[in-house]
Copies of this chain bind each other. A is one copy, B any other.
Amino acid sequence: NERYTNEIYRNANMPGVAVGLAWTYVGGDILFIEALLSKGKSELKLTGNLGEVMKESASTALTYIKANAEKIGILAEDLETKNVHIHIPEGAVPKDGPSAGITMMTAIASAYLGRKVKSHLAMTGEITLRGQVLPVGGIKEKVLAAKRAGIKEIILCYLNEKDVQEIEPAFIKGIKFVYVKTMQEVLDIAIT
């Protein structure tokens, strides 16, 4: 449904929204990960039919951001006086796995900073508390789904570079790949 995802994509560029890549039973797909702040006591709410591993990934992202707030440029006061709600449409589709880690981290940081994520950018990668990005599976299917949705740049763990090299070059013409080792690199690229 390219018309749908493209149009939504163009209209969705506001702080707190980042594009992830998922690998579902029908192949690769893109996920719009939405983070929205509201007044509260630093609680994390998760919706969108997320499995336990994906929920843990969001929790890990939030701890990383809290522990590294100063370096990222987020105010300690905002972390203590706001709740974060992360939602991933489409609610009817179950979603799970650790590969949305860097996207959730980016969406949360973007919301707290009040700055948009770079447009036409997608990403996939597992996160850790010590700030490293880990490789994930399903790279070919994810990259092709990103291509169909009009994505022009993709962030991956540097250990996934070999997976991209196995894709027929004609299929991914026009997409820029950025390989990273750390979560800080992701934020440096994604939030400008």
Contacts and interface: CB of A to CB of B under 8 A. Distances in A.
Interface of A: 3-4, 8, 11-12, 14, 16-17, 32, 34-39, 45, 47-49, 52-53, 56-57, 59-60, 63-64, 66-67, 76, 80, 85, 87, 89-92, 97-98, 101, 126, 128-130, 132, 134-135, 159, 181
Number of copies: 6
B34 A130 contact: yes
Contacts of A34: 128-130
Contact of A132 (B12, B36, B57, B181): B12
Given A8-B132, A36-B67, A89-B128, 14 more contacts: A4-B159, A38-B66, A38-B67, A39-B66, A49-B53, A49-B56, A53-B91, A60-B85, A89-B98, A90-B126, A91-B97, A91-B98, A92-B97, A92-B98
A49 to B, nearest CB: 6
Contact of A91 (B14, B39, B57, B92): B57
Contacts of A4: 135, 159
